[in-house]
Amino acid sequence: AQKITQTQPGMFVQEKEAVTLDCTYDTSDPSYGLFWYKQPSSGEMIFLIYQGSYDQQNATEGRYSLNFQKARKSANLVISASQLGDSAMYFCAMREGQYGATNKLIFGTGTLLAVQP
Protein backbone atom coordinates (compact mmCIF):
# COMPACT_ATOMS: atom_id res chain seq x y z
CA ALA A 1 0.00 0.00 0.00
CA GLN A 2 1.12 3.53 -0.68
CA LYS A 3 2.73 5.21 2.30
CA ILE A 4 4.75 8.27 3.23
CA THR A 5 7.10 8.13 6.22
CA GLN A 6 8.66 11.09 7.96
CA THR A 7 10.78 9.77 10.80
CA GLN A 8 11.78 13.10 12.36
CA PRO A 9 8.98 14.46 14.56
CA GLY A 10 11.03 17.55 15.36
CA MET A 11 14.31 19.20 14.44
CA PHE A 12 16.40 22.19 15.42
CA VAL A 13 18.70 24.13 13.12
CA GLN A 14 20.79 27.24 13.58
CA GLU A 15 19.91 30.26 11.53
CA LYS A 16 21.86 30.41 8.23
CA GLU A 17 22.67 26.70 8.30
CA ALA A 18 21.27 24.10 5.90
CA VAL A 19 18.85 21.44 7.09
CA THR A 20 17.55 18.20 5.57
CA LEU A 21 14.09 16.89 6.32
CA ASP A 22 13.66 13.20 5.60
CA CYS A 23 10.89 11.58 3.63
CA THR A 24 10.60 8.02 2.38
CA TYR A 25 7.75 6.62 0.36
CA ASP A 26 6.37 3.32 -0.71
CA THR A 27 4.47 2.72 -3.91
CA SER A 28 4.21 0.08 -6.58
CA ASP A 29 3.13 2.58 -9.23
CA PRO A 30 5.98 3.53 -11.60
CA SER A 31 4.47 6.97 -12.05
CA TYR A 32 4.05 9.24 -9.06
CA GLY A 33 4.69 12.73 -7.80
CA LEU A 34 6.16 13.99 -4.56
CA PHE A 35 5.27 17.28 -2.88
CA TRP A 36 6.48 19.22 0.09
CA TYR A 37 4.26 21.63 2.02
CA LYS A 38 5.04 24.06 4.81
CA GLN A 39 2.54 24.79 7.59
CA PRO A 40 3.44 27.78 9.79
CA SER A 41 1.81 28.20 13.18
CA SER A 42 -0.97 30.21 11.52
CA GLY A 43 -2.20 26.96 10.00
CA GLU A 44 -2.25 27.52 6.25
CA MET A 45 -0.55 24.92 4.05
CA ILE A 46 1.97 26.39 1.62
CA PHE A 47 3.19 24.42 -1.39
CA LEU A 48 7.00 24.41 -1.63
CA ILE A 49 8.27 22.03 -4.26
CA TYR A 50 7.33 19.15 -6.58
CA GLN A 51 9.29 16.18 -7.98
CA GLY A 52 7.93 13.82 -10.61
CA SER A 53 9.05 10.20 -10.66
CA TYR A 54 10.36 10.54 -14.21
CA ASP A 55 12.14 13.82 -13.65
CA GLN A 56 15.84 13.39 -14.36
CA GLN A 57 17.01 16.25 -12.20
CA ASN A 58 16.32 17.10 -8.60
CA ALA A 59 13.76 19.86 -8.22
CA THR A 60 14.83 23.23 -6.85
CA GLU A 61 12.84 26.32 -5.85
CA GLY A 62 14.90 29.11 -4.39
CA ARG A 63 16.33 27.93 -1.08
CA TYR A 64 14.43 24.64 -1.32
CA SER A 65 15.75 21.60 -3.11
CA LEU A 66 14.55 18.04 -3.21
CA ASN A 67 17.12 15.28 -2.88
CA PHE A 68 15.34 12.59 -4.90
CA GLN A 69 16.84 9.10 -4.65
CA LYS A 70 14.50 6.85 -6.57
CA ALA A 71 16.20 3.54 -5.79
CA ARG A 72 16.04 4.29 -2.09
CA LYS A 73 12.51 5.71 -2.40
CA SER A 74 13.47 8.86 -0.61
CA ALA A 75 12.60 12.48 -1.32
CA ASN A 76 14.32 14.60 1.29
CA LEU A 77 13.77 18.35 1.46
CA VAL A 78 16.87 20.48 1.81
CA ILE A 79 16.51 24.05 3.04
CA SER A 80 19.64 26.11 2.57
CA ALA A 81 20.55 29.15 4.66
CA SER A 82 17.74 28.67 7.19
CA GLN A 83 15.80 31.71 8.29
CA LEU A 84 13.71 32.28 11.40
CA GLY A 85 10.63 32.32 9.18
CA ASP A 86 11.33 28.74 8.17
CA SER A 87 10.16 27.57 11.59
CA ALA A 88 7.08 25.53 10.76
CA MET A 89 5.68 22.04 10.29
CA TYR A 90 6.75 20.43 7.02
CA PHE A 91 4.77 17.72 5.28
CA CYS A 92 5.84 15.36 2.54
CA ALA A 93 3.07 14.06 0.27
CA MET A 94 2.73 11.68 -2.65
CA ARG A 95 0.37 11.44 -5.60
CA GLU A 96 0.14 8.18 -7.47
CA GLY A 97 -0.53 7.73 -11.14
CA GLN A 98 0.37 9.67 -14.20
CA TYR A 99 -1.71 12.73 -14.94
CA GLY A 100 -3.68 11.83 -11.86
CA ALA A 101 -7.14 13.09 -12.58
CA THR A 102 -8.06 13.54 -8.98
CA ASN A 103 -4.63 14.59 -7.71
CA LYS A 104 -5.33 12.76 -4.48
CA LEU A 105 -2.39 13.09 -2.08
CA ILE A 106 -1.15 10.92 0.76
CA PHE A 107 0.58 12.87 3.51
CA GLY A 108 3.26 11.98 6.01
CA THR A 109 2.98 12.82 9.68
CA GLY A 110 5.15 15.91 9.38
CA THR A 111 8.39 17.29 10.84
CA LEU A 112 8.35 20.32 13.11
CA LEU A 113 11.36 22.51 12.34
CA ALA A 114 12.59 25.14 14.76
CA VAL A 115 15.18 27.63 13.53
CA GLN A 116 17.27 29.06 16.32
CA PRO A 117 18.95 32.50 16.15
Partner 1 sequence: DVKVTQSSRYLVKRTGEKVFLECVQDMDHENMFWYRQDPGLGLRLIYFSYDVKMKEKGDIPEGYSVSREKKERFSLILESASTNQTSMYLCASSLSGGDAYEQYFGPGTRLTVT
Enumerate binding residues for partner 1 (CB under 8 A): 4, 6, 9, 33, 35, 37, 42-45, 47, 50, 52, 91, 93, 98-110
State how far the alpha carbon of 104 is from the alpha carbons of 30, 55, 68, 91, 117, in Å. 16, 20, 21, 15, 37
Which of residues 42 and 56 has its CB atom nearest to partner 1 in the complex?
42
Which of residues 43 and 117 has its CB atom nearest to partner 1 in the complex?
43
Q: What is the spatial distance between Cα 77 and Cα 22, in angstroms, rounded to a whole number? A: 7
Q: What is the spatial distance between Cα 34 and Cα 4, in angstroms, rounded to a whole number? A: 10
Shortest gap between Cβ of 105 and partner 1 (angstroms)? 6
Shortest gap between Cβ of 91 and partner 1 (angstroms)? 6
